[in-house]
Chain A
Amino acid sequence: MTTTMTPKDFATATPSWWCPGCGDYGVLSALKAALAELGKQPKDVAFVSGIGCSGKISGYLHSYAFHGVHGRALPVATAVKLANRDLTVIAAGGDGDGYAIGAGHFLHAVRRNPKMAYVVMDNQTYGLTKGQSSPTSQTGYITGTSPQGNPDAPINGLAVALAAGGTFLARGFSANPKHLVGLMKEAVEHDGFAIVEVMSPCVTYNKINTYAWFKQNVYYLDDGYDATDRVRAFEALTAEGKIPLGVIYREQRPTLETLTHLGATPIVDLRLDPQLRELVAIQDAYA
C-alpha cells in the first residue's frame, strides 16, 4: 500500500452506546488495528452485523456497514461476498445472534466456506434486553427468564463449527487486544470462512464470567500446538477445564466463490444488456 493506514482511519464520529468497560470496545479496537495493519481501505470493507449490544459495532467502524435483522448477518455477508468478491467482508455479532436465532445460518456459512471473517462477541448473556440467559450461558445461570437457573447446557460454537467443516477457528479475549489483532488479521486473510470467537465480558449483567473469571480460566495455545490436526483441535475445544485461546484449527478447502464458479470480474461489475444475442436465443428452446 502506498498510504499507511492507522486504526483511526476506521473510526466513525458516532459515539458508542456501549457501557463503560464493555468487552466489545476491545473487539472494535482490535478490528480497526487489524484492518489498518493489513492496509485495507474503508471503501473496500463491507462490515455486516446482527442485533444486540454486539450488533451496534457496525456503527463504529468506518466502512460500508450493514446493521440488519437479528440473526441474519451471515446470509447477508455471504451474498455481499458473492456479489462483489473484491470486497473485504467481515460479519460480527453476539452469542445470541450467532448461536441462538442465527444458529442455522452459522452451520451453513461454515459449510459453504465463503472467504470472510466472522467475529462472535461472546458475553454469555443477553445484554441489550437486560441480562437474560444466552446459548453460551452456564447451566444454572440465574436471570429474569431463568429464575430457577438456566436449564440448558451451553453451546460450544467452535466445536460445532469444527464438526460442520470449519476451516479457520480461533478464540481471543477482548482484554488482550494485541493477541486479538493477530487473530483478526489471520482471519481476514484466511481463504475461507474464518471464525474468531472473542470472550467479551458484559460488565453490567454477567457477574459470573467477569474479566477476573476469564483471566483465571483461559490459557494460550503454545508453539507446540498443531492447528492443522483436526482431532487435536476437537480435544482442545471440548476438554474440561480451562478455555484455549489462539488459532485452534485451520485447513484449506475450496471457497464458495470457487465452487459457484464465479468469474474474476465481480458480479456487480458485469455489464447488463437485455439484447445480448444469447439471451434472446434462450426462447428458441420454447419455440
Chain B
Amino acid sequence: MSAVESRGAAAAGSDCVIVNDIEIMFGGQAGDGSLTTGDLIAGVFKRMGLEVYTYKDFPSRIRGGHTNYVIRAGEHANYGTADFVDGLIAFDVEAVETHVHELRPGGFVVFDSSSETLPDGVKRDDITWYLVPIGKIAKEEIGLELVRNTVSLGVLARLIGMDPAIVRADVAKVYGRKGERVVDLNLRAIEAGETYVDQHFAEWPSGYGLQGRPDVDRLIMMGNDAIGYGALAAGCRFMAGYPITPATDVLEFMAKFLPRYGGVAIQAEDELAAINMVIGAAFTGVRSMTATSGPGQALMTEAIGLAGVLEIPIVVVECARTGPSTGMPTKTEQSNLNHLIFGGHGEIPKIVLAPGTVEDSFYLSAAAFDLAERYQCPVFVLTEQALCQSKATLPRLDLGRVSVDRGKLVTEPVVFGEYKRFAFTDDGVSPRVTPGLEGGMHLAAGSEHGEAGVITENPKNRARMMEKRMRKLESALAHVPPPLVHGDAKADVAIFGYGANRGPIVEAQRRLAAEGVPTRFLELRTLWPFPEEEVRAFVAGTRAVFVVENNYTGQLDRLVRYVVGPLERMHRVLKYDGRPFRPIEIVEPIRRAAPARGLAEV
C-alpha cells in the first residue's frame, strides 16, 4: 500500500475526518461507457477489502441524456448512498451543474476539460477542482478517444490512492475477453491518467483516507442476478417475461443459465402472455417464475387471480420503479405495495416478500418457490430499482441453505373419482397432481368450482371454498420469512421500513445512536400476510414511531396504522422523487420529532 501511504492527505493522515468511507460519482452522457468504468472502480474497491454498494442513476434512453453511476466503498456494508458525494468525475458541464451541490465540503471534482470550459458560477470554493483534458489525453496519447473512461480511472486512482496493482489487474481482467490489444490500450490509458496527475497537481483530495484491507473471498453481485440465482438454485426451470426496466436483468440471467439446467426462458409477446405461460408451466409441475415492473404487473393482475383460484404455485418478481403509467422507468420507488397486496378483482391468498440486501435477494427468491408450492399460491418477490440494479459486496452464497420442498405434490397414481384436486383440508392446502399422473384428471377452472373441480355456483360450496383458500394464509403465517430487528431492541424510538431502505435506515440509526437517540428498526421481509403481531409488539412502549418509505401516500404506514390504530406519535418519512434516501434524510426528521432525551428538556 505504498502508493496510499505516500499520498499525503489521501492517506489516513492527521487531517482525516473519515477513513475508508468514500463515495465516487461518475457523471456524463448515457452510452459513453461510464457503467463499465463504474463497475471497474467497484471491483477495485472490493479487492482492496472494502464493502461496496453501487447505484445507477441513468435516463430512460440508450445514447445521450445525463447519467451517473455512484460507487460507495467503506468499512461497513452500507446498502445505500451517503449524505454527500466525495468525488465527482464529470465528463461534461451538465454533470457538474447537476451534482455539484451534492459534494461534501472538502470533496473534489475531476472535470474533463477537453472540449468544455466550466462556467464560473458552478465553481464552489470549498471543493478542489482538477481540470484534466481526459478526452484529449485518450485521443492524442493513446490514439483512441473511447478509452477516456479508463484514463479517468487512472486519474481517480492516483488522486485517492487506489492500489495501482489491483487497478491494473482488474483492467486486464475486465478487458481480457476483448483481446490483448484492448487490454494494452486500457493499461496505457491508466498510466496516462496517473502521469497527468503526477505532473500537474501537487494537492490531493483531503478529509478522508483510503486504506486497503485484506480481501476475503466475497462476491460483488447485482440484486437482480441474486434473484435469478436464487430461483435457479431453488429449482426454477421455466421463466417467461417481457423486457421491462428494471426487471429485464432477471430474464437475461435466466435466459443464460436455464438451458444449462434443462429449463427454458421465453421472451413473451407481452406480460399477459408471460404470466399465463408461467401459470401453464406451473400447472404442469415445473417451478416457474416471471419478473416485471409496475406496468407489467398491472397487466398480469387478472391472471394472478387465476393462479390464486386454481391454487397454482407461481413466483412473480416485481422490480418496482417510479409510477404511475410510464413514470420514470429507470428510477426507484416503493409505490407498488398496495398493488401487490390489494390488486386484483376478488380475493386470493398471496405472499409478498421483500429482501433488503443483495444477499437476502438470493435467499428470499429461493424461499419463494418453497412457499409457493407449500401453499399453492402466487408469491411475490418485491424489490426496487435502488436495490435490484445495484451491486454490492456480500459473503459467498450458501446453497446448502436452499431447500426444495414441493409441499403436497402427489407423485403416485390416484384413483379417479376418489381424488379431489381442491379437497377441503384443515390447512387449506389440497394434494396436487400434475398432468400425466394416472387417475388425477380434473378440470382446473377459474370459475368457482367444487372439490373435484366441477364448476358450480352453489352458495355453500362457494363460502367453504373461499374459506379453504384464504385459510392458507393463516397456515403460512408462521412459516414466512420473519422481520429483522436492527439497532437497540430496547430503544423507545421505533422505525419501520423494508427493501432498499434497509441500508440508509441502518446507517441513520448508527448516527442517531451516536447523537444520543437510540432506535430500533423492524425490517419487514414479509409484507403479506402482514406480520400483525410483531408490528403491534414493536410499537409498544415507544415514544415515537417512524415509517420510512419511497412513496407519497404512505402505503406501509397505512398497513401499520391498520394494526396499531391511530397514534399521535407516528410519523411518516416519505420520499418520492425517484431517488433513494440518503441517510441524512432519515436522520433529520427523526432528530426533529424525537430529539435526544436531554435535549428535549433544554
Contact = CB atoms under 8 A, between A and B. Distances in A.
A75 B441 CA distance: 21
A280 interface: yes
Contacts of B234: 272, 274
Contacts of A67: 443-447, 455
Given A63-B441, A274-B399, A84 B260 contact: no
B262 A79 contact: no
Contact of B404 (A59, A66, A74, A272): A272
B474 to A, nearest CB: 27
A72 B439 contact: no
Interface in A83-108: 83-84, 86-87, 104-105, 107-108
A252 interface: no
B410 to A, nearest CB: 13
Nearest to B439: A43
A102 B396 CA distance: 45
A64 B306 contact: no
Contacts of A265: 262
Contacts of B262: 263, 265, 267, 270
Given A48-B280, A58-B443, A270 B435 contact: no
20 contacts: A64-B436, A65-B443, A65-B444, A67-B455, A69-B302, A77-B280, A79-B280, A80-B435, A82-B281, A83-B285, A104-B269, A105-B269, A105-B273, A108-B268, A108-B269, A268-B434, A268-B436, A272-B404, A282-B229, A287-B219
Interface in B430-477: 434-447, 454-455
Contact of A64 (B237, B288, B310, B441): B441
Contacts of B441: 42-43, 62-65
B284 A83 contact: yes
Contact of B435 (A87, A260, A267, A278): A87
Contacts of B220: 286
B362 to A, nearest CB: 9
A235 B446 CA distance: 40
Interface of A: 12, 14, 42-46, 48, 58-59, 62-69, 71-72, 74-80, 82-84, 86-87, 104-105, 107-108, 260-263, 265, 267-268, 270, 272-276, 278-280, 282-283, 286-287
Given A64-B435, A75-B276, 9 more contacts: A43-B437, A46-B435, A66-B283, A71-B272, A82-B238, A260-B259, A260-B264, A268-B285, A282-B232
A14 B454 contact: yes
Contact of B273 (A12, A59, A108): A108
CB-based closest 9 A-B pairs: A272-B235, A79-B280, A76-B280, A64-B435, A79-B277, A75-B276, A83-B284, A274-B402, A67-B445
B273 A283 contact: no
B397 A283 contact: yes
Given A261-B259, A274-B403, A83 B286 contact: yes
Nearest to B447: A67
B335 to A, nearest CB: 26
Contacts of B266: 78-79, 82, 260
Contacts of B272: 71-72, 75, 104-105
Nearest to A70: B302
B175 to A, nearest CB: 16
Contacts of A280: 399
Contacts of B225: 286
Interface string B255-296: 001011111101011101110111111011111100000000
B417 to A, nearest CB: 9
Interface of B: 217-221, 225, 229, 232-235, 237-238, 240, 257, 259-264, 266, 268-270, 272-274, 276-281, 283-288, 302-303, 306, 310, 366, 396-397, 399-400, 402-404, 434-447, 454-455
A261 B439 CA distance: 31
A277 to B, nearest CB: 10
Nearest to B270: A104
Contact of B233 (A71, A75, A107, A274): A274
**Residue with the highest number of chain A CB atoms closer than 10 Å, among B276, B286, B288, B366:** B276
Contacts, number: 194
Nearest to A104: B269
Given A260-B264, A274-B234, A286-B219, A43 B269 contact: no
A265 B262 CA distance: 8
A64 to B, nearest CB: 4
A97 to B, nearest CB: 13
Nearest to B358: A286
A72 to B, nearest CB: 4
A75 B306 contact: no
Nearest to A280: B399
A12 B416 CA distance: 12
A169 B287 CA distance: 33
Contacts of B219: 283, 286-287
Given A84-B436, A286-B225, A287-B219, A78 B264 contact: no
Nearest to B215: A287
B403 A83 contact: no
Contacts of B442: 64-65
Given A267-B237, A270-B237, A59 B443 contact: yes
A130 B425 CA distance: 38
A272 B237 CA distance: 9
A83 B280 contact: yes
A280 B398 CA distance: 8
A68 B264 contact: no
Contacts of B288: 79, 83
A34 to B, nearest CB: 18
Contact of B445 (A59, A63, A282, A286): A59
A51 to B, nearest CB: 8
A268 B276 contact: no
Given A75-B280, A105-B273, A287-B218, A43 B436 contact: yes
B263 A267 contact: yes
Contacts of B235: 272, 274
